[in-house]
Amino acid sequence: MAKSIFLACVLGLVAVCCSSVTEARPAANGENRQPLVNTVYVFGDSLVDVGNNDYLPAPAPRANRPYGMDLPGRPTGRFTNGYNLADVVSQRLGFETSPQAYLSMLPHEKLLLGLCQIGANYASGGSGILDTTGEGTLTMRTQIKYFKRAADLMFCFPSKEDHLANSLFLLSGGGNDFSAFNPSTDNPSAYIAKMVSTYIEHIQALYNLGARMVGILDVPPVGCTPGSRVGMSNGACNDVANSLAQGFNNLLRTQLAGAVAANMKDLKYSIASNYNILTNTIANPFIAGFKEVETACCGVGRFRAEEMCSHGNTTACTGNHNDYMFWDKLHGTQATYEHGVVAFFYGDGPEYAEPINFSTLVKKKGGPAPNIQLVTNE
């Protein structure tokens, strides 16, 4: 009797809280649509962090104004002008935004997490795949430990295994590890191999905890960011940095396919080709709807890339922020992320995502792609 009353109270609390926390995003026709997955769990770096770093002491980087200036209210903890990749992916799945930052959760929200009513975003700006990357941030290994702590306490209907198997695990990492790469002491091949083997360890750990649907964002062309261009005398892309990113992306695809076949036979995954999508966009900016693909919108100095946005005397560009591919010296604008997500959700072939696209990954065709031309580098 007492147990029944307790469960009734818990379910009543869930009903009240979930109306605001897990409400599905309205579909294009104005009607609510059922999300394509149970929920989303996010791990990684500043491309997907929605505010965990706001709860960490220095030197963890923080996204203060003008970051988030195109979203209402206070700074959002996102390293862009508006929504980031975790948000836009979640919106494609039928949610309002990314699940909230884990470190921001109040007790009743952690209760909802434990009852499998909401997901969580564990990402930390500045972190990487390797444990040594990102001073003061939540490493990916730490993020997974936080998830394990929550998963061990989950009570789901019909089961925890079913809930997690039908949730998307979204991962982003690698860019910051290359920022920490020291060419004078680190061997490129060995460094990339260590990154890939460590990443597969992280994916295996999530698989052991119940993940069965994993979306991975590969490393973009880091040598073409404004921050990389400012270090080049001719302002061109840094081909060495791009070569490292390509080497990592290629080895990850090969090694992960083998690891899944050997040790994670029930795993479905998609690797989004951020590298190809952004490279093609830079080569064909007007097709993608951008007017500026070299200079950042927010910053100072050459390419507005001599300081991070919100540092010193940096300012945001005037006019339409959607005209810019890059918000700051490292991160894209919301428009860039929206363009990329359309490509790896609906694009056909490994140029956009492999071995399957995100739409196939979440077990639903998702209807026709929006009326946006996918950029190719033909």
* Bond preceding residue 158 cis, omega within 30 of 0: yes
Phi, psi torsion values for 324, nearest 5 degrees: -100, 140
Q: Which residue has the tokens 């975790």?
A: 86
DSSP one-letter string for 206-219 = HHHTT--EEEEE--
Burial class (CB in 10 A: 0-12, 13-18, 19+), 55: middle
Give the three-state DSSP class for 171.
strand
Question: What is the rounded distance in angstroms from the CA atom of residue 340 to the CA atom of residue 336?
Answer: 6
Burial (0-12, 13-18, 19+ Cβ within 10 Å), 51: buried
How many angstroms separate the Cα of 65 from the Cα of each of 68, 70, 75? 7, 10, 6
Q: Rounded CA gap, 113 and 43, in Å? A: 16
For residue 40, count other CB atoms closer than 10 A to its CB. 24
Is-contact 77 49, C-beta < 8 A?
yes
User: Residues with catalytic annotation?
Assistant: 46, 328, 331
Q: Residue 240 burial by CB count (10 A; 0-12/13-18/19+): exposed, middle or buried?
A: exposed
CA 208 to CA 169: how far, in whole Å? 13
Residue linked to tokens 């990357």: 133
Reported in sequence order, the residue ranges of the chain that DSSP labels E, i.e. its strands, are: 40-44, 120-121, 168-172, 213-217, 268-272, 298-299, 315-316, 353-354
Token reading at 319: 């006019």
Output the DSSP codes for 40-64. EEEEESTTT-SSGGGGS-TTS----
